[in-house]
């Protein structure tokens, strides 16, 4: 049996005329954080719900440790999830909420205290959840996910609305769960955060798989590395660079963005033609740029760009 593995084969979900998830094939492996990215409406939440058996595929399958979620006897021991942190009865205390989850899943009571401690909610354990801040609710949702000490964890937008301390805490937690050999699948819209957290990325658009690759590969592939140049005679330099095959754009702040010719060649050309340079800098593309390039054809909801 594959342990700590999520495997989708031809996974599809249609809602009436909408195809939310379209023949996805992927494996989520243990020991690393896998980021799950895609524009709004790409099908991330639907995929997560199918992994958890909350929604059934129209066709294809997704297996957790080689089985359907429905075939798992004590699900919280195998897979823990944070989907909607606010989906807890507001009149309950954090302790009661976790205690009833534990009781329903055959989890011993001391685990409740252990996870409350782990997420930093011990001091508010007996307060009603209705009065919790978003950050506290996220921590409680994560405590629920960790309760059964599962080998697989799913987090849907865990850092949404959190302050920098909360974001750092969640990032550190996800990285340490992966370092313990667990499988961590996390969806997010925050590219800079994903670049710090994920080792591997699954990118989907309009329900289809666009990339299943390491973070470094995705950035390198979407690269189009460029050189940023500031020169006194920028228009002349731009024209001269174009003559040798470079693509040059002139930014409103006066910087030239050059692709197709490396920084060494630009420096040599500038020296040979008597240019004074104020800056010559290699710029490596970010995950955000690579992501935009990958998903530009599959953004469902796009606002018009203001004129």
Ligand X SMILES: Nc1ncnc2c1ncn2[C@@H]1O[C@H](COP(=O)(O)OP(=O)(O)OP(=O)(O)O)[C@@H](O)[C@H]1O
How far, in Å, are 171, 223, 240 from residue 259 at the CA level? 34, 11, 14
Binds ligand X (CB under 6 A): choice among 41, 53, 60, 260: 41
Q: How far is the CB of 144 from ligand X (least distance, A)?
A: 20
111 binds ligand X (CB under 6 A): no
Size of the site for ligand X (CB under 6 A): 11
Taking the least distance from each CB to ligand X, the nearer of 228 and 288 is: 288
Check residue 38 for interaction with ligand X (CB under 6 A).
yes
Is 15 one of the binding residues for ligand X (CB under 6 A)? Answer: yes
Q: How far is the CB of 184 from ligand X (least distance, A)?
A: 18
Are 185 and 26 in contact, with CB atoms under 8 Å apart?
no
> How far apart are the C-alpha atoms of 290 and 279, rounded to whole Å?
25
Candidates 3, 10, 31, 40; binder of ligand X (CB under 6 A) is 40
Report the interhelical angle of 94-104 vs 110-118 (nearest 10°): 130
Minimum distance from CB of 45 to ligand X (Å)?
3
- DSSP class of residue 93 equals B
| 148 or 158: CB nearest ligand X | 158
Report in angstroms the alpha-carbon separations of 229 from 36, 115, 142, 283.
Answer: 35, 52, 46, 10
Phi, psi of 225 (to 5 degrees): -55, 145
Rule CB under 6 A: choose which of 34, 46, 197, 285 binds ligand X.
46
Q: Is 45 in the site for ligand X (CB under 6 A)?
A: yes
Locate 62 and state its tokens: 């997704």
Q: Give the interface with ligand X as residue ranges (CB under 6 A).
A: 15, 18, 20, 38, 40-46
């Amino acid at each position: 049996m594959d342990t700590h593995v999520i495997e989708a084969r031809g996974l599809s979900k249609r809602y009436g005329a909408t195809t939310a998830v379209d023949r996805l094939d992927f494996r989520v492996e243990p020991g690393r954080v896998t980021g799950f990215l895609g524009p709004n409406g790409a099908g991330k939440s639907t995929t997560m719900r199918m992994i958890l058996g909350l929604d059934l595929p129209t066709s294809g399958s997704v297996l957790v440790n080689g089985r359907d979620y429905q075939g798992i006897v004590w699900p919280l021991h195998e897979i823990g999830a944070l989907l909607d942190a606010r989906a807890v009865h507001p009149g309950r205390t954090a302790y009661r909420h976790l205690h009833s989850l534990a009781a329903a899943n055959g989890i011993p009571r001391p685990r409740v205290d252990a996870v409350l401690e782990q997420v930093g909610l011990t001091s508010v354990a007996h307060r009603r959840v209705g009065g919790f801040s978003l950050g506290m609710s996220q921590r409680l949702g994560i405590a629920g996910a960790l309760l059964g000490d599962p080998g697989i964890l799913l987090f849907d937008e865990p850092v949404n609305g959190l302050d920098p301390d909360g974001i750092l805490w969640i990032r550190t937690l996800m990285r340490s769960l992966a370092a313990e050999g667990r499988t961590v699948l996390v969806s997010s819209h925050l590219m800079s955060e994903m670049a710090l957290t994920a080792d591997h990325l699954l990118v989907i658009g309009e329900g289809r798989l666009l990339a299943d690759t390491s973070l470094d590969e995705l950035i390198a592939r979407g690269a189009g590395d460029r050189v940023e140049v500031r020169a006194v005679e920028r228009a002349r330099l731009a024209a001269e660079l174009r003559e040798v095959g470079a693509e040059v754009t002139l930014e409103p702040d006066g910087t030239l963005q050059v692709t197709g010719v490396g920084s060494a060649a630009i420096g040599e050309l500038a020296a040979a033609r008597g240019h004074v340079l104020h800056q010559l800098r290699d710029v490596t593309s970010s995950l955000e740029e690579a992501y935009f390039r990958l998903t530009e054809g599959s953004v469902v909801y796009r606002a018009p760009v203001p004129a």
